[in-house]
Structure formats: structure tokens, C-alpha cells
Amino acid sequence: MAPAPSSTSSAVVLNINGEKHQLTVDHRTTLLDALRERLDLTGTKKGCDQGQCGACTVLVDGRRAVSCLNLAVAAEGREITTIEGMAEGDRLHPVQQAFLDLDGYQCGYCTPGQICSAIAVIEEHAAGWPSAATEDVRPEAGPPPLTPEEIRERMSGNLCRCGAYVSIVQAVARAAGADEAAVGEDDANQGETAKETAA
């Protein structure tokens, strides 16, 4: 089905969820459209196609990106992770599980973007990245506590018109706590801290 490469299209290899996909794409094709229209990975949603809503959020080399503002041809050589790549077999990612348990959605259309964003938020926070809600941004201050204000600020690029923000923030907080608790089990020295955070 894929047309041969031409002056308006190119053959690319996209690495998505650990799998290599070979395809010829129109140069105008966004990463979002390549996922949805060419690779049948429709979990990534198109809400605005203008980088304004966050529904198309995926991870590119582990960092959040709106796939509607990235061209597919420019995604070659990157590691792309979509919502379809978050669970390990039947075992949901802790963020997915928390969204399910705490009803962190309604219609579900912004949900894949919210979840991809949340997974990256938890990692960004753990890596010490500050946000506009961080009171003390000096490096020596260390990561700020992941308060609801921090989560809200960091998640604000992802719109949810159903207004499920309250349960989304609860889900992100629970998943972040679960993550830290899991780290704590691996590292006895951090056990106390992890327990406190999870509580």
C-alpha cells in the first residue's frame, strides 16, 4: 500500500513501543497521523491537531511530546512510546491502574495523553525538575514534594473537558506514591521516606 519514496515522501523506520516499523510517509504527515492512519495505533488521540490540548501526548526518548506538532520523518531514530506501550502484557502501568481505580477520566478521549503525560511528570519530578509551582528552585533544595499543586501545574498541558481533573490528580498522586514505594522496596535506605510519601 505504501507508495514509493518521491520528492514528497520518504521511507522511514519508526521505533514505536520497542518495535521497528518501516513505512513511506508523505513529508506532511505528522507523527500523530502516522500512528493513527498508517500504523493503526489509534490510542494516541487527535483533539486539536494544533498542540493546544495534549490529547496526542506520547513519549519521545522518554520525554513528553505532542505528536501532532512532530513530523513523522523527523521521528526516525527516536524511541517513541505510546499508550499502547505502557502496560506490560496484562499488567497495567501503575498510572493506568490508578486512573482505572480512581475514575481518572470520563469520556476517555484525553486519557491516553493524560496518562503519557503523568508518567513523564512523575519521572521529571523524580529527576528534580522544578515547575512554576515549585517554591524553592535551588538545585540543592532537591525535588519538591509532589503536592496536588505541583501535579496540577505540571499536567496543565493536558485538557480534560469532562472536568475529571480532581480524580486525575488523585490518580497521579497515587501512582507516584506507588512508584516511590516500589523504589523503597528495592532500596532499604529509602524505605522510611517512601512509606511516609505513600501515606
List contacts with another protein (CB under 8 A). 26, 28-29, 33, 36-37, 40-50, 52-53, 55, 82-84, 86-87, 92, 96-97, 99-101, 103, 105-112, 115, 133, 148, 151-153, 155-169
For every residue of 65-86, DSSP letters joined together read: EEGGGSBGGGGTTSEEE-GGGS
Separation of CA 41 from chain center:
15
Shortest distance in whole angstroms from residue 108 CB to another protein: 4
d(CA 185, CA 191) in angstroms, rounded, equals 6
Longest Cα–Cα distance of the chain, Å, equals 60
Whether 113 and 99 have beta carbons less than 8 Å apart is answered as: no
Shortest distance in whole angstroms from residue 80 CB to another protein: 14
Identity of the residue, 37 or 190, whose beta carbon is nearer to another protein in the bound complex: 37
Identity of the residue, 48 or 178, whose beta carbon is nearer to another protein in the bound complex: 48
Shortest distance in whole angstroms from residue 167 CB to another protein: 6
Separation of CA 95 from chain center:
10
Shortest distance in whole angstroms from residue 132 CB to another protein: 8
Cell of 38: 498508517
Identity of the residue, 9 or 194, whose beta carbon is nearer to another protein in the bound complex: 9
Identity of the residue, 152 or 190, whose beta carbon is nearer to another protein in the bound complex: 152
Size (the chain), residues: 199
